[in-house]
Amino acid sequence: MDGALAVMMVVIVAHCGTVPTSSPSQEDLSKAQAYLSQFFSDVGVSAPNTVRRSALDSFDDTLRKMQEYFGLEVTGQLDSNTMEVMARPRCGFTDVTRYSHFDGEPKWEKPVVTYRITNYTPDLFRREVDATIAKALKVYSDVIPLDFKQIYRGTADIMIMFKARDHGDFAPFDGKGGILAHAFSPGEGRGGDAHFDEDEKWTLSSEGYNLFLVAAHEFGHALGLAHSNVETALMYPSYMYVDTDGYMLPEDDRRGVQAIYGVRGGSAEPTTKPEPTTEPEPTTELEPTTEPEPTTEPEPTTEPEPTTEPEPTTEPELTTKPEPDPLPTIRPAPKPQPTPELTPEPTPEPTPEPTPEPTPEPTPKPTPEPTPEPTPEPTPEPTPEPTPEPTAEPTAEPTAEPTGEPIPDRCSRHLIFDAATSIKGNIYFFKDKYFWKKSRSWDGVSMRRIESVWPGVERVDAAYEYKKSAFFFEGNQYWEVRRTIVMSGYPKPLSDFGFPSSVTKVDAAVHVSFKGRTLFFVRNKYWSYNERRGRMDGGYPRFIYKDLPGVGFRVDAAFQNRAYLYFTYGSRQVEYHYRRRRVIRTLLNNGWMDCD
């Protein structure tokens, strides 16, 4: 019996950002019906109409199920946020029948699973495809007692092919931009097979569709995994590019596949390398006559990229201690150690221009300028603003005062930050009613109650630093603080920044110093605030995943540290190069906490 089919696809929805909540168009209803029928129902869903009340109930109930699954506001209405999620690139495997593996589902009952690549995409060299497929399978063989062996003749357990349109399995591809790939769960016949749409552009970078990420997802289905509703999981339904250098299977996926096959034990090296053979590899396609797309993004002409990316650090002073080796993608953030700051080659960054604005005294924020807006001047790209001179820091700080409340565990691998910000070169991480301070002047992490330092501020949802002030947000209000002083007249309402009344809470905020903009994150969108003019930029809010590729769909906390921005969601964070819009690596939140 053929295994169940899983499909990686892109759902194209027009005008997804402007769908009215009360009266979606018939076209949108039809597309939503098709989406829900494919991914959230075993028997199909009828779109609502004025004739059949049962159809309306079925559609609304299924829509609520979909909204709950993706963490949206559960309204049962086809609003713009719901349509945006439906428009994301994703896998076509159904979402509601199985969120994870459970007893009775198919699995491979053998220690070695064979695979064969029957033909190759002309987008990449054959050796690149071989290495990428082996790497995608090794993600699993690293953590389960299962090995993979490539063969070049006959029928393998997993047959891999690149085909377009109708290719003989009653699930034809639909051309560029639609279905990306599909796979079958373990079983006889087509069970385990993985097919990739040749009409797509396959790459090893963030351009087009990354073959490693799509293949690793589809091989999860080929091993018996279904979808996960954890946004950071490999088996999350939507396609999203992340850095693949040193990629390790995320925790949710690791637990799922180990629940099926068990944990890999001993010191045996998992096998995913192609098996040596004297037989020539069959092919009906020619090698590319020109070099394929580069595997990394091209360097901008105005900003040469350094040979290696500089490591993050909370110590701004330069020393001569060499940097550690590059880190794998998913691992704790590095402990701050004195490291030299790398200089890009062959041309240094442009010299930073001094900030011409004087430091204003605290005033109600923001105050729109009455004069007409001048013609925008070209935006230079200097290096980040120099950090203000540090004030004297104590050699140690007291830990949190004893209370009857549970104190957050800073070393937990599941640590989630409420907010984070840098203040005068130190990094502050907020959790519940406490904060941790990572000082640049002495080793270690101190912990205090928020209210013991800033009276009247009990919790912090978001925070950022601008000039001499820091701004703390909780619910629909905010405070301006300087050092340990809460400025008079606060808290003030969020509406001062120009937010609509529908925004009652900010998830995260970060000031991008070289742009003079503060980014505010609210659910799956973000705003850009012009600090100098005291108003929001036009054209916002915008979707996070579209403008910041690799960051994800939501942000819990954000902060800037030297040349990089850091965006956290759940227990992990990405180190982000904002100018190049690329992820440097993925880290664990507790890596900043000096844990053994």
Which residues are annotated as catalytic?
A: 218
List, in sequence order, the alpha helices (H) in 155-222. 211-222
Three-state SS for 36-71 is HHHHCCCCCCCCCCCCCHHHHHHHHHHHHHHHHHCC
Whether 157 has a binding-site annotation, put simply, is yes
Element (H, E) at 237: none
Whether 297 has a binding-site annotation, put simply, is no
Whether 217 has a binding-site annotation, put simply, is yes
CA gap 277, 279 in Å, rounded = 5
Dihedral sign of CA atoms 315, 319, 323, 324 in order: negative
Six-digit token pair at 576? 């982000």
Beta-carbon contacts of residue 50 (< 8 Å; ≥ 6 apart): none
CA gap 310, 328 in Å, rounded = 14
Closest C-alpha to 511, from 453, 551, 471: 471
Instruction: Tell me how far CA of residue 265 lies from CA of 94, 172, 429, 442, in angstroms.
Output: 32, 41, 37, 41
Check if the beta carbon of residue 247 is closer than 8 Å to that of residue 588. no
Whether 577 has a binding-site annotation, put simply, is no
Query: What Rg, from alpha-carbon coordinates, does the chain have?
Result: 26
Beta-carbon contacts of residue 439 (< 8 Å; ≥ 6 apart): 314, 393, 397, 426, 446
Dihedral pair phi/psi, residue 465, rounded to 5° = -110, 135
Whether 199 has a binding-site annotation, put simply, is no
Annotated binding site: 91, 123, 157, 167, 169, 174-175, 182, 191, 193, 195, 197, 200, 217, 221, 227, 235, 418, 461, 463, 509, 556
Annotated binding site for Zn(2+): 91, 167, 169, 182, 195, 217, 221, 227, 235
